Amino acid sequence: MYQALLTRRYLFSKIMPLLASLAVMLSVAMELITWSVMGGFLDTLISTGRNVIGDVNITWPQVGFAHYDELIERLEEDDRVVSATPVTETYGLINLPGGFVKTVSIRGVDPEGYDRVTGWFGGHYWTPIEEPLRLDKDREDPRLDEELRPAFERLRSFGRRLEFDTVEDGAVRPRAAVVLGTEVYPKGAYRQRAGFVSTDIAEYLIGEDATIQVLPTDQRGGAIGPAARTLVIANEAQSGVYEIDSSVVYVPLAALQAMLKMDEAEVVAGPGKLVVDENGEPVGFAAPDTVDVSPARVTSVLVRGADGVDPKELKLACEQSYAAFSDERAGDVPRATSIIINTWRDQNRTLIAAVEKETALVLFIFGIVSLTSIFLVLAIFWSMVSEKTRDVGILRALGASKTGVAWLWVRYGLAIGTAGSLFGVLLAYAVISNINEIHDFLGEAFGLVIWDPSVYYFSTIPSDLDPVKAAIIAAAGLLSSTVGALVPAWRAANMDPVQALRFE
């Protein structure tokens, strides 16, 4: 009972317990901020996969596989699948205005289907927006401009159709278009601090020609010879993953299939027959007989799962569907045992594992650093017990037991740990909730750019305060201050009361 009274009085009567609380608070906040930012980075990395490949990617790279429509139909019969879409992807070169040439991943997509799986339309950049970006306090983003709204509406339409309407001889003629990842073309000084880019770059890029060059292969992977095609730049798209946005361009699926010789083709019976005239002189070749049709192929089918379906479960569903599909199309499509079916996490396992290990390592190192708070509390309590030696003697003279005196100090440690942990969590919450603003302030005030999106993938620092993590770290803070109080508590309990009373 007296412990509660004295803990309250001691807690607010000296600077030392406040310092001990401060030590616990800072170590709790440091651990929690680190864990939240690293964990937020990892969570965002994993969840952003939905904007890139949906939930599951069924792929047979380079040569692709046929009858994908049947596979998609089969997949969409499963309740766990919301939608599936064909994609063909290859590496190639893109020639952009100003002579800028870059190696990119060229992704042939069916815009509507690709949007259903990845939410692609939501990332199209040159579209009207209603709310300014977080840092655009003065609403300077041109996409907010009402006068430019019709123009942006048209660009949105072009991007969504992957077609650019040109007017020739008074008639509208749609041309196949390309949508660039937002970081494919260097923006340089056009990028404003608030995150948007000026319309100058749109004037320079949009509506201009871009030539893509690819190296098609036959069905056995043999090179056929380079193919090139010029398309119109219709828009730019942002997935939120810097590496994707800086290296992927989107073109119509059919256009890329044609360039890669993956479109539907007739299979003919040998060369055409020689045609001769009435004099027996050869005049040409007759078209060969068509004996079959080679179906169009794609390199991937992307699948989006229903809400709440675990990607692993969805992957299993896809494996089952593909197995049935390959049984039905045995010989025409890759075997179920060979086809590659991955979640985003599987596809990026090296990176994700590295981030997970990095998170664990940083937490471990900070955990070691936080151990210093145990010794700090120990040192402060040791000093306080020395200062309160006479109080210990008085309490023993009044009948306090050794256990009672020890509990007084342990309880005191608990109180300091509780206060430190509570304020540490609050501090962490405040920092995490405003981490991008703090980062921006550091950038403005001191020129510090800690979070470089070209290194860290995302344009904003991902963070989320998980209550479970907060509880674990707070409990660790509480434990560390209690452990730090144990030795001084033992010392206080074992003081000779007579000596303690004589202490000056």
Partner 1 sequence: MPLIEAHNIHKTYRLGRVRVPVLHGASISIEQGETVAILGASGSGKSTLLHLLGGLDTPDKASSPDRPSSIRFRDAPLAGDRYRARDVGFVFQFYHLLPELSVLDNVRLGAMVGRSRLEYLSIAGETDRRATELLTRVGLAERLRHRPAELSGGERQRVAIARALVTEPALLLADEPTGNLDRAAGDDVLDLLDELKAERELTMVLVTHSERVANRADRTVWLVDGTVRERPQQAPIAP
Residues in contact with partner 1 by the rule CB under 8 A: 1-2, 4-6, 9-10, 13, 390-391, 393-401, 404, 496-498, 501
Instruction: Give CA–CA dist 141/133, Å, rounded.
Output: 8
Which of residues 2 and 285 has its CB atom nearest to partner 1 in the complex?
Answer: 2
Which of residues 196 and 381 has its CB atom nearest to partner 1 in the complex?
Answer: 381
Residue 414 beta carbon to partner 1: minimum distance, rounded to whole angstroms: 16
Q: At 131, phi and psi to the nearest 5? A: -110, 140
Q: Tell me the Ramachandran region of residue 162: left when phi exceeds 0, alpha when psi lies from -120 to 50, beta otherwise.
A: left
Residue 405 beta carbon to partner 1: minimum distance, rounded to whole angstroms: 10
Residue 24 beta carbon to partner 1: minimum distance, rounded to whole angstroms: 22
Task: Record the tokens describing residue 350, joined without a space.
Answer: 């090296």
Residue 395 beta carbon to partner 1: minimum distance, rounded to whole angstroms: 6
Instruction: Give CA–CA dist 321/74, Å, rounded.
Output: 7
Residue 484 beta carbon to partner 1: minimum distance, rounded to whole angstroms: 22
Name the DSSP letter for residue 64.
-
Which of residues 248 and 395 has its CB atom nearest to partner 1 in the complex?
Answer: 395
Residue 15 beta carbon to partner 1: minimum distance, rounded to whole angstroms: 14
Which of residues 184 and 493 has its CB atom nearest to partner 1 in the complex?
Answer: 493
Instruction: Give CA–CA dist 71/85, Å, rounded.
Output: 10
Residue 349 beta carbon to partner 1: minimum distance, rounded to whole angstroms: 56
Q: Is 89 exposed, middle or buried (0-12, 13-18, 19+ CB in 10 A)?
A: buried
Task: Record the tokens describing residue 250, joined without a space.
Answer: 């989107």
Which of residues 290 and 403 has its CB atom nearest to partner 1 in the complex?
Answer: 403
Tell me the C-alpha to C-alpha distance, in Å, between residue 325 and each of 22, 68, 220, 322. 63, 9, 21, 5
Residue 16 beta carbon to partner 1: minimum distance, rounded to whole angstroms: 13
Which of residues 398 and 445 has its CB atom nearest to partner 1 in the complex?
Answer: 398
Residue 499 beta carbon to partner 1: minimum distance, rounded to whole angstroms: 10
Residue 8 belongs to what H/E stretch? Answer: helix 2-13
Residue 380 beta carbon to partner 1: minimum distance, rounded to whole angstroms: 17
Which of residues 303 and 400 has its CB atom nearest to partner 1 in the complex?
Answer: 400
Residue 378 beta carbon to partner 1: minimum distance, rounded to whole angstroms: 22
**340 beta partners:** 59
Triad 289, 293, 294: Cα angle to 5°: 130
Which of residues 4 and 268 has its CB atom nearest to partner 1 in the complex?
Answer: 4
Triad 331, 334, 335: Cα angle to 5°: 85
The three-class DSSP label of residue 168 is strand
CA dihedral 117, 121, 123, 125 (to 10 degrees): 160
Report yes or no: 432 and 460 within 8 Å, Cβ to Cβ.
no
What is the amino acid identity at position 159? G
Which of residues 177 and 400 has its CB atom nearest to partner 1 in the complex?
Answer: 400
Report yes or no: 227 and 260 within 8 Å, Cβ to Cβ.
yes
Instruction: Give CA–CA dist 86/97, Å, rounded.
Output: 30
Q: Is 192 exposed, middle or buried (0-12, 13-18, 19+ CB in 10 A)?
A: middle
Which of residues 288 and 497 has its CB atom nearest to partner 1 in the complex?
Answer: 497
Triad 305, 307, 310: Cα angle to 5°: 65
The three-class DSSP label of residue 463 is coil
What is the amino acid identity at position 135? L
Q: At 367, phi and psi to the nearest 5? A: -60, -45
Residue 7 beta carbon to partner 1: minimum distance, rounded to whole angstroms: 11
How far out from the chain centre does Cα 278 lie? 72
Greatest pairwise CA separation for the chain in angstroms: 137
Which of residues 97 and 404 has its CB atom nearest to partner 1 in the complex?
Answer: 404
Which of residues 401 and 454 has its CB atom nearest to partner 1 in the complex?
Answer: 401
